[in-house]
Copies of this chain bind each other. A is one copy, B any other.
Amino acid sequence: MLYFIGLGLGDERDVSVRGLEVIKRCERVYLEAYTSVLMGSADPSRLEEFYGRKVIVADREMVESESDAILAGAQEVDVAFLVVGDPYGATTHSDLALRAAELNIPTKTIHNASIMNAVGACGLQLYNFGQTISLVFFTDSWRPDSFYPKVQENAQIGLHTLCLLDIKVKEPTLESLARGKKVYEPPRYMTVNQAVEQLLEVEENRQEKAYTADTIAVGVARLGSDTQLMRAGTLAQLRDVDFGAPLHSLVLVGSRLHLLEADALRQIAVDREALDVVLARDYGITH
């Protein structure tokens, strides 16, 4: 059996009791380490100690090109594939599941919290979110704005947009790729500030007002950990707020904001008076 096991959002103790029981009895344990990271346990040895099992860190290369090694013998023995958050959060690992099916390996999923549902902690109702988008790091030559129409679609209905922010873990340097021997860049995690910069650059270019510097948004950092931080303000304000260590996410607040949601945002406002001005002017909400 191949088990996809969600680890949740904080540290090693956010795994479920059921998940931990399964991990402890699996013959091999892999940790997916390229689409997210467990904030409190960047070091796999901490997981190993907690599980009492060896943990094999699976980077993108391994999962994409050596999936048969991961799946070896899983018709007979139990193998765990650990995913930070929920296995069906942002990335679904459907290639691995599909390959398992081809090899007649049964699979089972043990769910956990992911940013996709835990973001409700900021006080915005999950009911009022539209489609989720991803923001990737801009480079000098690649500044994709394919997310923009999706934000626009959400905004036209008045829905909130959850923006998942890029992480780059174990990316080979361009120079090393040219030389044929891979050397890896240090890991990078997009901050709320960088996300805001990129969003505003794209709006500046397109001028279609899917959002503006005055759009209210919520910066979310280290959700589900003890140092969780959430701040609401305009994009212009959030550009300069220091959210500290990764992981960060951002929510663009839609115009169909309810009074109760607005109350929650006021509790975490960067500047409550300034927020009230924008709430009254652009969202029709007065206190």
Residues of A at under 8 Å CB distance from B? 6, 8-10, 12-18, 20-21, 86, 88-90, 92, 94, 98, 101, 109, 111-114, 116-121, 123, 125-134, 153, 157, 159, 224, 260, 263-264, 267
Distance of A116 Cα from B126 Cα, bound (Å): 8
Tell me whether A16 and B112 are in contact in the complex, defined as CB-CB below 8 angstroms, given that A117-B89, A120-B89 are known contacts: yes
Contact check, A123 vs B111: say whether CB atoms are below 8 A apart.
Answer: no
Contact check, A117 vs B127: say whether CB atoms are below 8 A apart.
Answer: no
Contact check, A89 vs B126: say whether CB atoms are below 8 A apart.
Answer: yes
Contact check, B118 vs A130: say whether CB atoms are below 8 A apart.
Answer: no
The residue of chain B having its C-beta at the shortest distance from the C-beta of A129 within the complex is B131
| Identical copies in the complex | 2
Distance of A259 Cα from B10 Cα, bound (Å): 33
List chain B residues, Cβ under 8 A from A113: 6, 86, 111-114, 117
Distance of A127 Cα from B90 Cα, bound (Å): 7
The residue of chain B having its C-beta at the shortest distance from the C-beta of A260 within the complex is B94
| Contact of A17 (CB < 8 Å), options: B20, B111, B126, B130 | B20
Most chain B Cβ neighbours within 10 Å, of A10, A12, A14, A267: A14
